[in-house]
């Protein structure tokens, strides 16, 4: 069983953000340092404490190898699907503890089913976000780093319902959710020697969109990310991040659609390798655990993400 | 016991805010040793200042010896000195004159964790200028080290 196409892009976007959050766990130290720690959340490319600006390019590829049904059963895929995404992103420090970031994704999808294959894509949903750090990880022995996150995702990508059905029978040209999304979050992080531990909570609310005359609103989504990272003396780092998103039922003309809620689990093993002070490579492997009851109404994927970042201090 | 006030013929005092765990500062140890050795002969006094929670004189004596620092590490209980000089990161340096006036504040140089030959040697440049009777060409820069755990 395949997941509904109408939710596929949204799932991919969430996965993309979470995967980048994982590779953005960038503790960059071996001790009591607040530098570079924690989740970039909402938008990739979080600035480390010493950085004033950065730009980056990220490439991501994922194989959709299965899905979770509405009853949370794990179902191996009966058709092929590959998702690709390239992101340009940048971040700018606007105050000593405040930063803003912009992410511009370009999405491509390859689908094959029932003897039909389809490849398409385009500009995805732009994301603008901000972060304010009230305290920094490592500043205090007791109080963790506390950051407030806010973000807006703009519906700049073509949603599934606007797909060019004549040329893209499997809607592979869809690249967006078709709705604005407001993200709010809180990030906690602390360093213990060379280890960094972080927990981030995100709340996302989407605006309604009209599909075939029906006003459809995706349910509010709660996401928790928990991660641990180890930094080596050469500034390289490894991180393991687990995330879990829970989304409420979709509403159609104000009426809840039963069994349309979603649960999205994801595990990411990420790494960071500094080429020098301004340049770093970040990458990771992410996967949906293939366990029934963990997910619901969502694809299960396995993929790679690689990013090159240039920063200025 | 060391006093921070400049004394005698020593024209200038350099404070280097220290963290035992900060690898960025550790990477700069060789440069710090070289600068301290060179400019101590010219009347500049150097001190590391450990404002971090849990710092002890005994531990830092061992650490100073291990790192080969030709200067002592002072304990800054309550991080009062760090706060006075606005030091939030390890590797933050201040250069004081005899009256205690800050003449330079910021990083040791423009490198962070990867040392390069082309780095701007902010601290050394400031000392060169001051010893030549000039104001530092750069009076303030950015310290790129780790956050000091001061509370």
On average, the pLDDT of chain A sits at 83
Three-state SS letters, chain A? CCCCHHHHHHHHHHHHHHHHHHHCCCCCCCCCCCCCCCCCCCCCCCCCCCCCEEEEEEEEEEEEEEEECCCCCEEECCCEEEEEEEEEEEEEEEECCEEEEEEEEEEEEEEEECCEEEEEEEECCCEEEEEEEEECCCCCCCCCEEEEEEEEECCCCCEHHHCCCCCCCCCCCCCECCCCEEEEEEEEEEEECCEEEEEEEEEEEECCEEECCEEEECCCEEEEEEEEEEECCCCCEEEEEEEEEEECCCEECCEECCCCCEEEEEEEEEEEEECCCCEEEEEEEEECCCCCCCCECEEEEEEEEEEEEEEEC
The percent of residues above 70 in pLDDT, for chain A, comes to 86
Which residue does chain A place closest to B148, by CA atoms? A139
Q: What's the average model confidence in pLDDT over A205-218?
A: 91
Supply the ipTM of this predicted assembly: 0.80
- DSSP reduced 3-state for B66: helix
pLDDT tens string B104-134: 999 999 999 889 999 999 999 999 999 998 9
Nearest to A313 among B90, B144, B147 (CB): B144
| CB within 8 Å: B112 and A50 | yes
Residues in A closer than 8 angstroms to B114, CB to CB, are 235, 274, 276-277
- So what's the pLDDT on residue A10? 39
- Containing H/E element for B18? strand B12-18
> For residue B30, what are the β-bridge partners?
none
Distance CA B144, CA B151 (A): 20
Distance CA A301, CA A290 (A): 9
**Better-predicted residue by pLDDT, A56 or A118:** A56
Pairs across A and B, CB distance < 8 A: 83
Residues in B closer than 8 angstroms to A234, CB to CB, are 113
- So what's the pLDDT on residue A114? 79
**Better-predicted residue by pLDDT, B6 or B142:** B142
CA nearest A133: which of B98, B130, B147, B105?
Answer: B147
Nearest to B23 among A50, A136, A233 (CB): A233
Residues in B closer than 8 angstroms to A137, CB to CB, are 147
Please, which residues 33-92 of chain B have a Cβ atom closer than 8 Å to chain A? Answer: 52-54, 88-90
- Containing H/E element for B17? strand B12-18
| CB within 8 Å: B90 and A33 | yes
pLDDT tens string A9-55: 433 343 344 434 433 433 333 332 334 433 332 344 789 888 999 99
- DSSP reduced 3-state for B109: coil
- DSSP reduced 3-state for B45: strand
CATH topology of domain B12-131: Glutaredoxin (3.40.30)
Is pLDDT at B1 greater than 80 in this prediction? no
- So what's the pLDDT on residue A109? 85
Is pLDDT at B4 greater than 80 in this prediction? no
Residues in A closer than 8 angstroms to B52, CB to CB, are 32
The percent of residues above 90 in pLDDT, for chain A, comes to 52
Nearest to A30 among B21, B142, B151 (CB): B21
Distance CA B11, CA B64 (A): 24
- Min Cα separation A228/chain B (Å): 18
| CB within 8 Å: B113 and A235 | yes
Least confident of A102-111, B84-93, B94-103, B107-116: A102-111
C-alpha to C-alpha distances, A292 to A62, A74, A117, nearest whole angstrom: 20, 5, 28
- So what's the pLDDT on residue A113? 82
**Better-predicted residue by pLDDT, A142 or B1:** A142
Which residue does chain B place closest to A29, by CA atoms? B23
The pTM of this model reads 0.82
Least confident of A78-82, A85-89, A246-250: A78-82
Is pLDDT at B103 greater than 80 in this prediction? yes
Q: Which of A50, A96, A310 to mutate to test the interface with B (most CBs of B within 10 A)?
A: A50
Range A199-223 burial, b when 16+ CB lie within 10 A, else e: bbbbebbbebbeeeeeebbbbebeb
* Domain spans in chain B, listed from the N-terminal domain onward: 12-131
Residues in B closer than 8 angstroms to A138, CB to CB, are 146-147, 149
Nearest to A274 among B19, B113, B145 (CB): B113
């Amino acid at each position: 069983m395949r997941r509904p196409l109408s939710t596929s892009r949204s799932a991919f976007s969430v996965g993309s953000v979470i995967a980048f959050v994982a590779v953005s766990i960038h503790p960059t130290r071996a001790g009591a340092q607040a530098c570079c720690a924690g989740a970039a959340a909402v938008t990739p490319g979080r600035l480390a404490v010493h950085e004033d600006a950065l730009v980056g390019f990220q490439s991501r590829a994922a194989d959709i190898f299965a899905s979770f049904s509405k009853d949370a059963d794990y179902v191996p895929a009966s058709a092929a699907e590959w998702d690709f995404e390239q992101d340009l992103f940048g971040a700018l420090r606007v105050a000593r503890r405040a930063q803003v970031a912009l992410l511009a994704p370009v999405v491509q999808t390859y689908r094959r089913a029932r003897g039909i294959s389809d490849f398409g894509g385009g500009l995805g949903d732009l994301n603008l976000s901000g972060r304010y750090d009230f305290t920094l990880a490592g500043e205090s022995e007791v109080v963790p780093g506390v950051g407030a996150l806010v973000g807006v995702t703009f519906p700049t990508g073509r949603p599934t319902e606007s797909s060019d059905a004549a040329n893209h029978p499997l809607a592979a040209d869809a690249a967006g959710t078709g709705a604005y999304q407001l993200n709010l979050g809180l990030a906690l992080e602390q360093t213990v020697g060379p280890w960094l531990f972080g927990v981030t909570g995100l709340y996302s609310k989407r605006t309604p969109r009209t599909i075939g005359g029906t006003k459809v609103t995706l349910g509010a989504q709660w996401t928790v990310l928990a991660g641990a990272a180890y930094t080596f003396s050469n500034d390289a780092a490894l991180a393991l991040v687990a995330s879990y998103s829970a989304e409420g039922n979709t509403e159609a003309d104000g009426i809840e659609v039963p069994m349309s809620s979603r649960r999205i689990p994801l595990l990411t093993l990420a790494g960071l390798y500094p080429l020098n002070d301004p340049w770093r490579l970040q990458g990771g492997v992410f996967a949906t655990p293939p366990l029934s009851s963990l997910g619901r109404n969502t694809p299960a994927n396995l993929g790679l993400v690689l990013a090159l970042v240039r920063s200025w201090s | 016991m060391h006093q921070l006030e400049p004394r005698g013929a020593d024209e200038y005092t350099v404070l280097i805010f220290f963290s035992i765990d900060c690898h960025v500062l550790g990477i700069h140890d060789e440069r710090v040793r070289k600068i301290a050795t060179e400019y101590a002969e010219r009347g500049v006094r150097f001190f590391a200042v450990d404002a971090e929670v849990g710092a002890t004189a005994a531990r830092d004596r061992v650490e100073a010896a291990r790192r080969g620092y030709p200067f002592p590490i002072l304990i800054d209980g309550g991080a009062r000195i760090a706060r006075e000089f606005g030091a939030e990161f390890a590797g933050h340096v201040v250069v004081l004159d005899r009256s205690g006036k800050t003449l330079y504040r910021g990083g040791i140089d423009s490198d962070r964790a990867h040392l390069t030959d082309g780095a701007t040697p902010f601290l050394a440049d400031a000392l060169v200028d001051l010893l030549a009777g000039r104001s530092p060409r750069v009076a303030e820069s950015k310290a790129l080290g780790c956050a000091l755990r001061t509370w």
